[in-house]
Amino acid sequence: MKVKEGIQLFRIDPDEDFHLRDHDPGWAGTKEMRELGEDELKDRAKQILQNRLAELADAQEVLYANDIYSVLLIFQAMDAAGKDGTIKHVMSGVNPQGCQVFSFKKPSDEELDHDFLWRYQRNLPERGRIGIFNRSYYEDVLVVKVHPELLERQKLPAGEKGDRFWKHRYQSINDFERHLARNGTLILKFFLNVSKDEQKKRFLERLTNPEKHWKFSEADVAEREHWDDYQSAFEDAIRETTTGSVPWYVIPADHKWVTRTLVAIIIAEKVRELGLAHPVLTEEQSARLADARKRLEGE
């Protein structure tokens, strides 16, 4: 499968109606790929991941040297879908100085004293950097939509908090992202699509394996009871905030190696498409370098 076609399988098209049911969390390769057999397929995926990580490391250097674009990677998902692991693997090859990760939890009192985009805006990546949002302003149309009491804490002006209210939030997000895109931020949004069965398996693994106990939180099981509400909130959010300039990628997440490989492929390809090269010096800059070299050599 060609990379571009592959990416298209997972990129949501703003002109088509979006339904989560059309996206299989258990996807593990096209028919031709599956004919390779699982072990062979996994080995190839690992190889691709390695190559893409190397490409990403190079791309990051060029991004940094150019100092024009920044890259914002947004990860959203149900609990245990693999956000942390994907971030860890995909960014394992890049220079830590060019990369910033922010994990967003429940907003603080100070954060609640501002509009919902404020805390995210303050943590955007600088030019030349890759910024990762482990959860993001999308929580404000996901968990906050599923739990209306969280919205009450946001101290908003009185008024109906129905469909129109959420439409306006999606609009604010679209406007914000369009603004960032126009000003040099490449935004890549990933929804890691895990199935309810696989989530249960992973929770049970957290409860059984002592090394994974720390990952377990009782709140996760409570949230699982709202599974359908979350799926519907994700579906609405993805449908309403997939735009031509900033689309969503819905990534199958029941197989960790699939998730990691696809995310690495998409990031490497999209950064490559920025068409950046090492900056070329002006004549004046070249002359200065030659001069500096002469002085050093003459010491």
CB atoms closer than 10 angstroms to residue 182: 9
Query: Could you say whether residue 105 binds ligand AMP (CB under 6 A)?
Result: yes
- Establish if 206 lies at the interface with ligand AMP (CB under 6 A): no
Across the strands, what pairs with 103? 134
Find the shortest distance in angstroms from Cβ 284 to ligand AMP.
49
Binding status of residue 254 toward ligand AMP by CB under 6 A: no
Straight-line distance from the first to the last Cα atom of the chain, in angstroms, rounded to the nearest whole number: 57
Tell me: does residue 106 bind ligand AMP (CB under 6 A). Answer: yes
Token duo for residue 221: 């099981």
Q: Which of 25, 107, 247, 252 is in the footprint of ligand AMP by CB under 6 A?
A: 107
Find the binding residues for ligand AMP in span 111-140 (CB under 6 A). 135, 139-140
46 or 196: whose CB is closer to ligand AMP?
196
What sign results for the dihedral spanned by CA atoms 13, 117, 167, 80? positive
Q: Angle at which helices 163-182 and 227-241 pack, to 10 degrees?
A: 50
Which positions from 59 to 98 touch ligand AMP by CB under 6 A, shown as an x/- string? ----------------------------------------
Return the range that interacts with ligand AMP (CB under 6 A); candidates 53-61, 142-150, 166-174, 188-196: 142-150
Classified as helix, coil or strand, 190 is strand
Select the span of 69-77, 102-110, 196-204, 286-294 touching ligand AMP (CB under 6 A).
102-110
Q: Does 143 bind ligand AMP (CB under 6 A)?
A: yes
> How far, in Å, CA of 29 to CA of 193, rounded?
15
Nearer to ligand AMP, 46 or 200 (CB): 200
Contact 94, 154 (CB under 8 A): no
Look up residue 233 and give its two tokens: 């909130």
CA distance 292 to 297: 9
Residues contacting ligand AMP: total by CB under 6 A: 11
- The beta strand positions in 208-280, using DSSP E, are 248-252
Q: In the set 144, 180, 192, 267, which binds ligand AMP (CB under 6 A)?
A: 144
Task: Name the residue type at position 32.
Answer: E
Interface with ligand AMP (CB under 6 A): 103-107, 135, 139-140, 143-144, 150
